[in-house]
Amino acid sequence: MKMRAVRTVCCALLAACLLPAATRADGPDNWALAGRLGLLQFVVVPEAFAREGDYYRRIIDEVCADKVASCFVRFFTNSTGAKLDFPLPDAVLNEPTVMFQRSAKHQREQFQWSCRLGMAESSCF
């Protein structure tokens, strides 16, 4: 009986990680936290802001509020207007913009532009 309760709790936690997490739609710079997978967060941003580094920093400050914890965010645009489900539809996955990683263990941050945007100064993904 105890194993069944543990399994139920684990399934509920997994389902919560896979559900869409939040949407921010309170202005022209709205963005959506489309879902989470453990520490990895998937954010969809408007195309108008896809090349604005300060815009991403504001979002990162919000979704990675704990400055000493690990935080991993993948950003995308959605030019096709595809319905935001999780896992993300291919139309959205084909439009990566930025990859952000903060590792508490290695005390290191990495902010990388997608090669498709032509914004990378040194390396892109």
Residues 7-36 pLDDT 10s: 433 333 333 344 344 445 445 569 999 999
Residues 41-67 pLDDT 10s: 999 999 999 999 999 999 999 999 998
C-alpha span between 10 and 13 (Å, rounded): 5
8 A C-beta contact, residue 30 and residue 24: yes
- Residue 16: phi and psi, rounded to 5, are -65, -35
What confidence score (pLDDT) does residue 121 get?
A: 74
Q: Which residues pair with 23 in a beta bridge?
A: 32
Q: Is the pLDDT assigned to residue 116 strictly greater than 80?
A: yes
What confidence score (pLDDT) does residue 39 get?
A: 93
C-alpha span between 64 and 47 (Å, rounded): 22
Q: Is the pLDDT assigned to residue 2 strictly greater than 70?
A: no
What confidence score (pLDDT) does residue 17 get?
A: 40
pTM of the model: 0.78
* 91 CB-contact burial (10 Å; exposed 0-12 / middle 13-18 / buried 19+): middle
Nearest Cα to Cα of residue 92 among 79, 105, 103: 79
What confidence score (pLDDT) does residue 66 get?
A: 93
Give the pLDDT band of residue 6 (cuts 50, 70, 90): very low
Q: Is the pLDDT assigned to residue 4 strictly greater than 50?
A: no
What confidence score (pLDDT) does residue 41 get?
A: 98
Q: Write the CB contacts of 83 (distance below 8 Å, at least 6 apart in sequence).
A: 89
